[in-house]
Chains A and B, each alone.
Chain A
Amino acid sequence: MSFFLETLLGGLMSGMLYSLVALGFVLIYKASGVFNFAQGAMVLFAALSMARFSEWIPQWLGMDNLFMANLLAFAISVVVMFTVAWLVERLVLRHLVNQEGATLLMATLGIAYFLDGVGQTIFGSDIYKIDVGMPKEPVMMLENIFEGGILINKEDFVAAFISALLVVALSIFFQKTATGRALRAVADDHQAAQSIGIPLDRIWVIVWCVAGITALVAGIIWGSKLGAQFSLSTVALRALPVVILGGLTSVPGAIIGGLIIGVGEKISEVYLGPMVGGGIEIWFAYMLALMFLLFRPQGLFGEKIIDRV
């Protein structure tokens, strides 16, 4: 029983981390209809920038305060991600308005390649450390209820908490601020939004900026767990089933989808894996998403797709 709970908790926590990456997909898709494959590359780019600046800043300024270094590095990385967002809109998306989904998807793959190249040229291709003081050692809990207790990974716990905070912040941003409302208006109908005076191109820059910040947060959390290195860009592949399960257009969908996928793949790997030789979690996640899709082709929380001739 206690082991089952551990697996469940582990699944929920990885689920939260997937959601964090999935959010980036959803934000951009919602506001611009672009399926942004470059999200993984953005996570990597942000993580590299964070890791390297927090290493370089103490050298440049000759100070020895980890907290200040991280804070400055975070600020610089935010600026870097904003620049990326602005450039993407200016140089790529602006020229591809009204193109088909597949073309836009390809363009974001192009962006992903470009970012991978730039990131490794500027920041290097080694493994870099992001030290934001995440606790590494596990703790045991509920020892009086279960024999041996439940092992909680504090780092995951903190990460899940931060993800939850980010989601709440994003929801408030979308629901309560004028910009958030404008974003939702654009998502509902580009032309109607434009006709009441919402500047489309500015909205797109904003939404890519927001996606950039989610990428940065995801990058810091994943990077502090795994080290900032090229493989981080592959976390996007883990987040894809989450997005389609939850629905491409739904923020809560990304969260619920993340939790379902996280729990589903951990439980399948731990309990079904040994029977077939293990290593099933990645395709199991996709199969799980596919199963849900067969019943709801637009994902759990996606907007209903209505066909008109």
Chain B
Amino acid sequence: MNLRKLAVAASVAAIGLSAALTTPAAFAAEEQFFPVLAYRTGAYAPNGAPWANGFVDYMKLTNARGGVNGVKLIWEECETGYATDRGVECYERLKGKHGGATAVQPLSTGITFALTEKAPGDKIPVITAGYGRSESQNGAVFGWNFPLVGTYWMGADVLVQHIAKKEGGFDKLKGKKVALVYHDSPYGKEPIALLQERAKMHGFEVQLLPVAHPGVEQKATWLQIRQSKPDYVFLWGWGVMNSTSIKEAQATGYPREKMYGVWWSGAEPDVKDVGDGAKGYNALAMQHGAEPNAKVIKDVLSLVHAKGQGTGPKEEVGQVLYMRGLISAMLQVEGVRAAQGRYGKGKHITGEQMRWGLENISLDQKALDALGFAGVMRPVQTSCLDHMGSAWARIHTWDGKKWNFSSDWYQGDEKVLRPMVMLASSKYAEEKKIKPRTPEDCKK
């Protein structure tokens, strides 16, 4: 008797429990969860905050436009402070919430490295639009990393192409000297391999000048530049290091016109408190620059900010890092849309399905125009083996008040990049004992 009662109670409880478990799942079917790892405090906050604002604003815009085929986006922010262990904690905290994280964008090379180890186990794609490890472009080895739209090797390649054009051809680079002032961390070291490769090809010299975190003490660095008088200075900084470099360049009289920053060293926070001193300073534009006139920005202003729902200050909308966040969110949303195309429109997408979506993003100019990115971006086409999808970039220049484009479009040179990516990724695969995916695996 007692036993029977117990069995009944147990089965009732089990049914209740499973019901309780399935209800949120059914509910979550119309929602898609985007974790946001941001940093709005600490040494890198001036650069982290606009990115996060752009990212969140785009999700708000997407919801205002009716979601992704009706699926609403939900999100939660977690503060990493640009620290790896806090970033890992945030990832662990958010990955299981609201039916599971769709994808994660850490906005820090250090956190990216740590998550690269964890993501395959959890089956959550790591999107690193414009940062992270360059060899992760090879989707066969790095199945869950997506350095969409740009890697540092590609960026450095474009910079070399640009100075070659300035000098009048690659053969004119012979005997020239390029100094790389870089943040002394995996982030800053990324371009070195490519620059050395290119230096060997064209016979120019690379001078490496590391700057210790957080980059406020650069006097010795710029004394060395004054001594060696390089023809160009490439700047690979982040946060307060960027503005300090420009100020030191001014103080040692190095012409700003010959300085070229990476796309993380070319935004408003880097130059605005230098003002006129930064006039003529150039930086890579990861396709987009500051885009106050883009249609998508007007949409954000009218559909989000006009209703008082803007995430950050209104002046920031359309600035460089804000746009970077916006585009990062857009690529993730488009990944969801692509995945829905295969796994069912209006359905909730899991991390694994999301990977397929990200590997099959196909944004032609028409689709970009429809989203409001006309003139901002060039088409993106990813595949299972190419996780970058687009290798276009251009240069923009600070005129003392705003960023203006000062070059035509460049494309990273596949002939240089591809062998390097393959070499580095196969070394990684060997170390980790990963069996690269074949084209057949990709179809699954």
Contacts and interface: CB of A to CB of B under 8 A. Distances in A.
B210 A277 contact: yes
Contact of A125 (B40, B210, B226, B253): B40
* Chain A interface size, under 10 / 10 to 19 / 20 to 34 / 35 or more: 35 or more
A235 B215 CA distance: 11
Residue of B215, B219, B243 with most partner-chain A CB within 10 A: B219
B216 A278 contact: no
A156 B250 CA distance: 13
B45 A230 contact: yes
B216 A231 contact: yes
Contact of A153 (B40, B184, B214, B252): B252
Contacts of B46: 125-127, 229
Contact of B253 (A14, A138, A231, A265): A138
A281 B227 CA distance: 17
A155 B217 CA distance: 15
B292 to A, nearest CB: 19
A52 interface: no
B344 to A, nearest CB: 43
Nearest to A152: B251
Most buried by B among A10, A127, A279, A281: A127
Contacts of A274: 224
A278 B247 contact: no
B223 interface: yes
B395 to A, nearest CB: 24
B269 A270 contact: no
B212 A282 contact: yes
A235 B219 contact: no
B217 A151 contact: no
A235 B223 contact: no
Given A151-B226, A153-B251, A226-B216, A128 B240 contact: no
Interface string B213-255: 0111101110110110000000000011001100100111100
B28 interface: no
A154 to B, nearest CB: 8
A231 B210 contact: no
A231 B43 contact: yes
A6 B226 contact: yes
Given A136-B250, A137-B250, A153-B251, A10 B273 contact: no
Contacts of A3: 223, 226-227
A158 to B, nearest CB: 12
B211 A155 contact: no
A136 B276 CA distance: 11
A137 B40 CA distance: 33
Contact of B247 (A126, A225, A238, A281): A225
Interface of B: 40-43, 45-46, 49, 184, 208-212, 214-217, 219-221, 223-224, 226-227, 239-240, 243-244, 247, 250-253, 269, 272-273, 277
Given A120-B45, A127-B240, A273-B220, 9 more contacts: A3-B227, A125-B46, A127-B243, A127-B272, A153-B252, A225-B247, A227-B244, A231-B214, A270-B220
26 contacts: A7-B220, A125-B45, A126-B269, A127-B46, A136-B247, A136-B250, A151-B252, A151-B253, A226-B243, A226-B244, A226-B247, A227-B243, A229-B46, A230-B41, A230-B45, A230-B240, A231-B215, A234-B43, A269-B220, A269-B221, A269-B224, A270-B224, A273-B220, A274-B224, A279-B210, A282-B217
A-B complex: 9 closest residue pairs judged by Cβ atoms: A269-B220, A279-B210, A125-B45, A129-B273, A231-B214, A231-B240, A231-B43, A227-B273, A153-B251
